[in-house]
Homo-oligomer: A and B are copies of this chain.
Amino acid sequence: MAQTADPRGLPSPDLPSLKGVRLMDVEGNGPIRLLSARQQQQVAAIAQRVQFPRRTVMYHEHARAEFIYIISRGIIKTYRNLPSGRRRVLAFWFPEDIFGLAQAGRYVNTTQAVTDVTLFRLAIPTLKEALAQDASLQLQFLCKVTHELRQAQRHSIVVSRKDAVGRVAMFLRALDDQEVQRERPGVIDLPMNRADVADYLGLSAEAMSRACRKLERNGIISFTNRHSARVVDARELNRLASGA
């Protein structure tokens, strides 16, 4: 079961393609910005490119924090095990997302690869130095964290909804938005399994299943297989996702 992180990695600090790191502006105006060439090189100099098979646990809750990661390829989930034995998935992270932020020198959530992943790994002391020396690089991090804060707020809204169908609709719509800039629109890729989504949405696996079937029966979504869905009635999906 789920080995712990031991990189099957390429230790040579290859130039990471951080070009694509999408950034939100924290404080206002300005559109999306990208790491400058100089910043990319700066990150590359201190990053290590590593690969892990799916299900690898990158780190456990409460473990001593050593690295911060940027996803290059693949999907990561971060969760917490509750005293009740239940599991709450707090977020799924996608390429260009940053994870591994610690509190008091310890990780706060357990983090696990959903698919095979390629990551950029940055030793924290080194990163700290780099941030201290370059305010504009640090701004990229500030923007990223702010973006994650928004995500977390959206998540808390999703989870506070009462109806299972509405929650699933919001989840699918969010995924669709995220993937719209990629391949053909309307096709949603679901790298994670149903149980993970259920834990993310705060639903039982059964309620999750029933909600999906209902969306299918009502001609809103069509699940071609377990990891792929198609939006049939986008207007109705929007209505369900909004209406609550």
Q: A86 and B133 in contact (CB under 8 A), knowing A108-B150, A145-B146, A202-B160?
A: no
**Cross-chain contact A25 with B134 (CB below 8 angstroms):** no
Q: Which residue of B104, B152, B244 is within 8 Å of A153 (Cβ)?
A: B152
Number of A interface residues at 8 Å Cβ cutoff, please give it. 56
In the complex, what residues of B have CB within 8 A of residue A83's CB?
242-244
**Cross-chain contact A27 with B102 (CB below 8 angstroms):** yes
What sequence of 0s and 1s flags, for each residue 47-86 of chain A, a beta carbon within 8 Å of any chain B beta carbon? 0000000000000000001101000000000001011101
> Chain B interface: which of A136-144, A216-224, A227-235?
A136-144
**Cross-chain contact A103 with B25 (CB below 8 angstroms):** yes
**Which positions in A face B, CB cutoff 8 Å?**
24-31, 65-66, 68, 80, 82-84, 86, 88, 90-91, 101-105, 108-109, 124-125, 127-128, 131-136, 138-139, 141-142, 145-146, 148-150, 152-153, 155-157, 159-160, 202, 242-244
